[in-house]
Every structure is written in structure tokens, then in C-alpha cells.
Structure 1
Amino acid sequence: MVILPPDLDPELVARLGDTGGGQLAQKMGIEFLELSASYSVARMPVEGNRQVVGLLHGGAHVVLGESLGSISSAIHGGPGRVAVGIEINATHSRSITEGWVTGTCTALVLGRTLCTHEIVMTDEEGRRLSTVRMTNYLRDRS
């Protein structure tokens, strides 16, 4: 069960429920545990997300990070607004070959039109695997 803020936009709640966070998040096996504008947590299995030599694919880290950053920004934007990613970067610090990766998303800036989040990926022992930073532009839904 996902922990959600009580005042969350009902339309966003419906979209999250209907899509599980989006088609790619579902394919990657991402499980959202807690979602808010300032702090969100999700996890993803290594199984099914490895690259050719058996390590978790670097792009999988970015997918987990972008999923958390985008949803957190959308929550901050509120009803009638959408979050559009405009910048993302990742630094990979450690590899992993099995188990689960947890992404912890913390807001750095929650502005009127821009949101920036840092998402730290850790293994099951709490070791940092990668750091993703993402900026979203908030615009009115058209």
C-alpha cells in the first residue's frame, strides 16, 4: 500500500491507481511505497533490469529516479498542472547484480514553476548505488 498525502489531487490519485505510475514503471517492476512533493520512496528489482554483463542497467537507475521526481513534482504542482522533465543527470557509484534497489527522493527546490529533486538509490544494505538529480517544469494542463 502506498502512503499518499491526504490532500492529493484526486485526478492524480486516479492516474496513479490506473497506471501504477506509468507503463515503463510497471515494466521495470517499480513499487511505490510513499509519495509526497518533498519526500518519496520506491523500490525496483534488479531481476529483469540487468544489462548484458549482469549488472543493473544504469538507465534503470534513471527510470526509477525520473519516476519518483516526476510524480513528486506533479504532487507539488497540484490540480490542473503537469510536471514536465527538463533536465536529469545521474552519477553511478556502485554496481549491483541482484536484490532490490530503493530510491529515496528528496526535494531540493519546490517553486511555482520549477521543482528539483535529488534521488538516491541504495541497495538492501543501505549502500549508495547512484544519485540522480532531476528538474521539472510545472505548467498548466492543456
Structure 2
Amino acid sequence: MSFDKEKMLQLCNDWSKNTLMETLEIEYIDAGENFLTAKMPVNPRVHQPMGLLHGGASVALAESVGSAASMLFINPEKQEARGIEISANHLRSKREGMVYCTAKILHQGRSLHLWEIKITDENGKLVSLCKLTNMILPRR
């Protein structure tokens, strides 16, 4: 099967309806054969009390993008991806604007996917660096 970028982005954005991803206004904007990118606005909806991007919102963004990316590598009619471990290093604060999140596959096994996920600001400066492990299971 050939890779259809627009179809993949539409699928990811459709999956987000009525979920945390929609609440956080995450929008999938780019995809390739080994990566997926989304953007999320930084505003009071995702702030912690000090007016900065909440680390939990960053982790939710990273896990959302990494999990959606795994879904692009499997047959969603027969399999599903479940996040089993995520780690994050928050390196730079952000008060407003947009962050961009790109998940790149590091390991694509039959039962485990390992993703490196970078969250950057509008200038490409690294905000958070995450690692996500997804387990691939038969669909129930």
C-alpha cells in the first residue's frame, strides 16, 4: 500500500473528534513514512498556574502524536496501539503561541513501537523531548 499523506492526516484528525486531542486543539499537520507532526496552541487552556505551558499538556500532546503515529503502521481493523511508557524532559518554557510535535519511529517491531518525540516552538527551539513506547495488541 502506498503512503497517502492527506488521507493519513485526515484520519488522524478524524480520530481526535470528541477526545482530549480536540479539547487541547491538537491538529495533525504533516506526515511521512516514518513520522507524524501536529500542532497545539499555547493559551490559558494548557497553562499551569504560573501562566506557562503545563508539562502534562506537553506529555498529552506527545502521547497523542506518538499513539496516532503507531496507528499509521498497523491495521486498525485488526490491531490497536496502547501507550505503555512515556518519559519527558521539559527544556524550555512557553507562555503563548504554538508548539509543534513530531514523533519519529526509532523501533518498529511486531509488538512494540518506540518513538522519539520532539516538541518545538515556532522558531524550532526544543521545548520538550519525549520517548514513548506503544504496545501493539490484537483488536478486541
Unpaired segments ≥5 residues, structure 2: none
Answer yes or no: is the 8 Å Cα contact 2:86–2:130 preserved in 1.
yes
Distance 2:34 2:58 in 1: 20
Structure-2 residue corresponding to 1:75:
72
- What are the residue-to-residue correspondences of 1:33-44 with 2, within 5 Å? 33-35=29-31, 38-44=34-40
Distance 2:30 2:81 in 1: 18
TM-score by length of 2: 0.87
Q: Shift of the alpha carbon at 1:75?
A: 1.4
Distance 1:22 1:118 in 2: 26
Counterpart AA for 2:117: I
The alpha-carbon distance between structure 1 residues 76 and 32, as it changes in their structure 2 partners (threshold 3 A), is same
Structure-1 residue corresponding to 2:84:
86
Distance 1:22 1:54 in 2: 26
Which of 118, 123, 132 is the matching residue for 2:121?
123
SS in structure 1 at match of 2:66: helix
Q: Shift of the alpha carbon at 1:6?
A: 2.6
Answer yes or no: is the 8 Å Cα contact 1:33–1:41 preserved in 2.
yes
The alpha-carbon distance between structure 1 residues 130 and 70, as it changes in their structure 2 partners (threshold 3 A), is same
Q: Shift of the alpha carbon at 1:70?
A: 0.4
Distance 1:118 1:130 in 2: 11
- What are the residue-to-residue correspondences of 1:14-29 with 2, within 5 Å? 16-17=13-14, 19-20=15-16, 23-29=19-25
TM-score by length of 1: 0.86
Deviation above 3 Å: which 4+ runs of structure 1? none
Query: 1:7-65, CA deviations, whole angstroms, 9 ceiling, x for partnerless residues?
Result: 9x99x93x752x43661000001011124562000000111211100000001110110
How many residue pairs are counted as aligned between the two chains?
Answer: 135
Task: Give aligned-pair identity as a percent.
Answer: 37
Q: Quote the RMSD (CA, aligned, Å).
A: 2.3
The alpha-carbon distance between structure 1 residues 58 and 37, as it changes in their structure 2 partners (threshold 3 A), is farther
Counterpart AA for 1:25: M
Which of 37, 62, 71 is the matching residue for 2:59?
62
Counterpart AA for 2:110: R
Unpaired segments ≥5 residues, structure 1: none
The alpha-carbon distance between structure 1 residues 36 and 78, as it changes in their structure 2 partners (threshold 3 A), is farther
Answer yes or no: is the 8 Å Cα contact 2:13–2:27 preserved in 1.
no
Structure-2 residue corresponding to 1:32:
28
